[in-house]
Structure 1
Amino acid sequence: MSVLLRRSRIAPWGYVKRIRLPPPHIDLKPGTVCYVAGWGDTSNFGEEPTELMETNTTIVKRSLCRTLWRGKVSANMLCGASRNATLQGGDSGGPLVFKDKVYGIVSFSGERCGDRRFPDIYTKISNYIDWVHHVVQGFRRQKGWLKP
């Protein structure tokens, strides 16, 4: 995970807009339906979309996800599953959104495009909120960066 700081504001346009961060250390409950978007491949043959793709995904219980992924899932991750789409190559870094807040960052998925044996994995942003605030405050103290 990284934080990008700019000296000037980025003007929202088209698909780009600001989004709020969740409170620290919040876990989405299993069964919560979220929105995810990305530019990932649309098949196993590397077919790329011509427009931003989106789908809904449902949060999966971490213990089940950890079992399916054979222990590769930590408390810093969220798991989601969708009936109509899975994450693909090129989706990494995309947002997992619930109620206008970004709760996750697309991390990884099954071995193949459309492999529904494994839930999709997201970095759990709420576990990094304190770090984000620390980094931003550090830059605010540096002359010429963000306004206090």
Structure 2
Amino acid sequence: MLILILLPVAFLLPPGAGAGEIIGGRKAKPHSRPYMAYLQIKRGDKRSRCGGFLVSENFVLTAAHCNGNKITVCLGAHNIKQREPSQQKLSVRLRIPHPQYNRETHNNDIMLLQLEHKAKLNEQVGLIPLPPAHQGVQPGTVCSVAGWGRTSAHNKELPHKLREVYLKVLDDQTCLKYPGGTYSKYNTYTMMCVGDPKKSKGSFKGDSGGPLVCGKTAQGIVSWGPVSGSPPRVYTRVSTFIPWIQATMSRLQP
């Protein structure tokens, strides 16, 4: 097993939450984010999509609200409507949502997926480092998020090609003191407040579970926000969960 720990979306939503989409972004350079995973989710007779990211040869990290009865992971994808030679489609052996995940408060919105087989690492499929435990991201840091989610709160069409957008990390008080109590369930220990409220840029439906990348490290996971799609959006704070991630992966290794 190869694990990197370095220094430095879905429609299955909790009530009132909006999963991730890319609003105000651009098409990503093909295969420039080899860690990205496209998740096809079945829940009963419903189908949805989410993002995720490869953190080990046989583990993908995503959001707990992306859970379903069956999940198929596609790695090495840029255009998800084409059968690209780079794509690796893998079944999920185990879905491990955080044991304290709460659908009502969106707290602990993180899930590990153990793949049925190891991914074949190459130029199009690779790992992304995780941060050290409990290492925060300074407000003002510009990070990026990518996904195959909706490009507008009004346009329900989903893009075929990976899109990306750059966003600023905000201080916790921006979400805590936001007018109208929009973020009343915000938890400073497990969540990050991301995206300038004055700019129409952010993640939305279909991008949930994708990584917020700061430098070359996955610091956040697309989690929830206003159903209008307006920023700021809330991301799961990955560094808080490093002990759980490491312990879970170690326990499940053959």
- What's the TM-score once normalised by structure 2's chain length? 0.50
Given candidates 228, 233, 240, the residue that maps to 1:127 is: 240
**Equivalence for 1:34:** 143
Given candidates 204, 209, 223, the residue that maps to 1:93 is: 209
Distance 1:129 1:38, change over 3 A: same
Unaligned runs of 5+ in 1: none
Distance 1:110 1:132, change over 3 A: same
Measured after TM superposition, the shift of residue 4 of structure 1 is: 2.1
Higher strand share: 2
**Equivalence for 2:69:** none
Distance 1:123 1:70 in 2: 14
Equivalent position amino acid for 1:109 in 2: G
List per-residue Cα deviations over 1:54-85 (Å, max 9, x = no partner).
Answer: 01010011012112134221020011114352
Unaligned runs of 5+ in 2: 1-109
Equivalent position amino acid for 2:220 in 1: G
Distance 1:4 1:12 in 2: 17
- What's the TM-score once normalised by structure 1's chain length? 0.84
The sequence identity of aligned pairs, in percent, is 33
**Equivalence for 1:137:** 250
Distance 1:70 1:108, change over 3 A: closer
**Equivalence for 1:108:** 224
2:171 is aligned with 1:61: yes
Higher helix share: 1
Given candidates 70, 76, 92, the residue that maps to 2:190 is: 76
List per-residue Cα deviations over 1:61-120 (Å, max 9, x = no partner).
Answer: 10121121342210200111143522111111111001211001000122213x24xx11
Number of equivalences: 138
Mean Cα displacement is larger for which, 64-73 or 38-47?
64-73
Q: Which runs of 4+ in 1 moved over 3 A?
A: 12-16
Equivalent position amino acid for 2:248 in 1: V
